[in-house]
């Protein structure tokens, strides 16, 4: 557990505005609790409209001095940030376990990824550039042209609770690499990691206004989204909120990393026992509270019965309970409201004719733990199939063949990532050509992500791409020079 002394050293329970901690707010507070024990961790004042204005104005003013930093200086600061994260990695992992309810083994993985994210951004700051444009023909004969990329300006970043530090860094690190100031609104359920990051960044000597973190209500958050001085909105969260914000943000650039109901295909050539183990983890790690958590599983008819039995056996082995136990896979759902929602969705599926193969009940209501649940006989009219469950619930359905599996995966409003378990190379090629998703993972769960790869979805799963190089492209504009 994080002691009070360590917690105090990690973060300040206040808003970080243009380089200064502000303990005052609008008179209301954001209370952060330990997601398993329910104990209070911190109370942070909600920022006022005037404080948001101060943060935006300071970020806008920081553009010029920040842009004057060389690529080498930007890279060096990011390397120092990575070193600070490394210095505090266990304390940060413990903090994430508490504020987000993330199993400690997975929280440690998140911090390791954070360090990689920042170090990769530091490297990209040195190698990111433009291109020579071939125009030496026709009207351009004798001319030379090339582009240089410039920072777009202030970034409004809004992040979710499930990766309270790494998803913040997927916006902040590329912005710091290219020279864009950031105003961040973290998730109210788990903002302490972001405040800890603000304390680390404050040690690095950036121009005042380069980075601000504000907890605020919806009207003040929308003030940030709408402000014309903000050049880009980078949002990760639910599809309903994301598309709403896109509709009110005006002319600025937008990157949306939204939800999904990620699917897996299992064909007749797959190693079924190994796939069952992988899918059981992929569906229920962190109680399924991952955008690319395995939710829909499609097995071809010839192997369905055997795979079903193997998968049920593996799901029943999934450890549930206290996230401080390194063996835990399914910890608490983020709050009581979502615990009830998950239960209601499972009950709706059962009432509609679905069968519970295992799970389907609350394990520990006081600690918001729901059993790893596998359903079959579902339909696309059921929320457990057509919507994002964001809980420890997955569906397993029979399809006639690989063609039927592709059609079933594509029969969704979402398209983030998909996993395909096959040793048949024509199926690999076909999956890449025909699956309507942002990424296809062969012989792996759709939850696979390396922080440098292009990551994002289509349909209701969003637009734009994250991954350090790709996020920098989103946060910069090419400027052409011809002579």
CB atoms within 10 A of CB 143: 12
The confidence score (pLDDT) of residue 5 equals 44
CB atoms within 10 A of CB 106: 21
Q: Show the domains of the chain with their CATH numbers.
A: 4-258+461-482 (3.40.605.10), 263-451 (3.40.309.10)
Closest CA to 261 of 388, 439, 406: 388
Distance, in Å, from the CA atom of 466 to the CA atom of 175, rounded to the nearest integer, reads: 12
- Contacts of 271 by beta carbon, 8 Å cutoff, 6+ apart: 421, 423
Say if CB 262 and CB 228 are below 8 A apart: no
Q: By CB neighbour count within 10 A (0-12 exposed, 13-18 middle, 19+ buried), where does 404 fall?
A: middle
Placement of tokens 């082995």 in the chain: 317
Q: Do strands 355-358 and 296-300 pair parallel, antiparallel, or not at all (unpaired)?
A: unpaired
The confidence score (pLDDT) of residue 2 equals 46
- Told to judge if 291 belongs to the known catalytic residues of this protein, a careful annotator would answer yes
The confidence score (pLDDT) of residue 205 equals 97
The confidence score (pLDDT) of residue 4 equals 44
Distance, in Å, from the CA atom of 125 to the CA atom of 128, rounded to the nearest integer, reads: 6
The confidence score (pLDDT) of residue 8 equals 53
DSSP-assigned letter for residue 140: G
Catalytic-role residue among 114, 216, 249, 291: 291
H/E element holding 231?
strand 230-236
Q: Going residue by residue through the chain (483 aa), what tens digit of pLDDT does each one get?
A: 444 444 557 899 999 999 999 999 999 999 999 999 999 999 999 999 999 999 999 999 999 999 999 999 999 999 999 999 999 999 999 999 999 999 999 999 999 999 999 999 999 999 999 999 999 999 999 999 999 999 999 999 999 999 999 999 999 999 999 999 999 999 999 999 999 999 999 999 999 999 999 999 999 999 999 999 999 999 999 999 999 999 999 999 999 999 999 999 999 999 999 999 999 999 999 999 999 999 999 999 999 999 999 999 999 999 999 999 999 999 999 999 999 999 999 999 999 999 999 999 999 999 999 999 999 999 999 999 999 999 999 999 999 999 999 999 999 999 999 999 999 999 999 999 999 999 999 999 999 999 999 999 999 999 999 999 999 999 999 999 999
Say if CB 476 and CB 468 are below 8 A apart: no
- Told to judge if 249 belongs to the known catalytic residues of this protein, a careful annotator would answer no
Closest CA to 190 of 327, 335, 80: 335
The confidence score (pLDDT) of residue 3 equals 46
Closest CA to 30 of 214, 252, 269: 214
H/E element holding 376?
strand 373-376
The confidence score (pLDDT) of residue 251 equals 95
Catalytic-role residue among 99, 110, 124, 257: 257
């Amino acid at each position: 557990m994080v002691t009070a002394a360590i917690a105090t050293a990690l973060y300040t329970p206040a808003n970080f505005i243009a380089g200064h901690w502000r303990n005052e707010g609008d008179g209301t507070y954001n209370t952060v609790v330990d997601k398993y024990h329910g104990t209070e961790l911190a109370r942070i004042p909600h920022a006022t409209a005037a404080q948001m204005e101060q943060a935006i104005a300071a970020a806008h003013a920081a553009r010029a001095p920040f842009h004057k930093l060389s690529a080498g200086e930007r890279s060096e600061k990011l390397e120092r940030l990575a070193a600070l994260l490394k210095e505090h990695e266990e304390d940060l992992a413990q903090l994430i376990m508490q504020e987000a309810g993330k199993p400690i083994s997975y929280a440690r993985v998140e911090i390791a990824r954070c360090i990689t994210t920042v170090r990769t951004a530091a490297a990209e700051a040195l190698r990111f550039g433009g291109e020579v444009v071939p125009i030496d023909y026709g009207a351009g004969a004798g001319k030379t042209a090339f582009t240089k990329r410039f920072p777009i300006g202030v970034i409004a970043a809004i992040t979710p609770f499930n990766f309270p530090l790494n998803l913040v860094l997927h916006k902040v690190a590329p912005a710091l690499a290219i020279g864009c100031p950031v105003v961040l609104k973290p998730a109210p359920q788990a903002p302490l990691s972001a405040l800890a990051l603000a304390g680390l960044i404050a040690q690095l000597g950036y121009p005042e206004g380069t980075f601000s973190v504000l907890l605020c209500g919806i009207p003040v958050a929308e003030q940030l989204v709408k402000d014309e001085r903000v050049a880009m909105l980078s949002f990760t969260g639910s599809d309903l909120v994301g598309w709403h914000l896109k509709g009110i943000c005006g002319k600025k650039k937008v990157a949306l990393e939204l939800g999904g109901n990620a699917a897996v295909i299992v064909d007749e050539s797959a190693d079924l026992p190994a796939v069952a183990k992988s899918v059981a983890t992929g569906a229920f790690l962190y109680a399924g509270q991952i955008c690319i958590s395995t939710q829909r599983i499609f097995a071809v008819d010839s192997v369905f019965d055997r795979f079903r039995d193997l998968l049920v056996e593996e799901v029943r082995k999934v450890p549930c309970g206290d996230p401080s136990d390194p063996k835990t896979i399914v910890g608490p759902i983020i709050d009581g409201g979502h615990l009830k929602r998950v239960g209601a969705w499972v009950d709706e599926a059962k009432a509609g004719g679905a069968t519970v193969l295992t799970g389907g009940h609350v394990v520990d209501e006081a600690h918001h733990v729901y059993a790893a649940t596998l359903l079959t006989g579902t339909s696309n009219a059921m929320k457990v199939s057509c919507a994002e469950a964001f809980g420890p619930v997955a569906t397993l359905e029979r399809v006639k063949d690989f063609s039927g599996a592709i059609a079933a995966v594509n029969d969704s409003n979402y398209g983030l990532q998909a996993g395909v378990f096959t040793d048949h190379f024509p199926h690999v090629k076909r999956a890449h050509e025909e699956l309507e998703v942002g990424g296809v993972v062969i012989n792996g769960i759709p939850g696979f992500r390396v922080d440098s790869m292009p990551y994002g979805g289509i349909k209701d799963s969003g637009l734009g791409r994250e991954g350090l190089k790709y996020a920098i492209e989103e946060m910069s504009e090419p400027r052409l020079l011809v002579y």
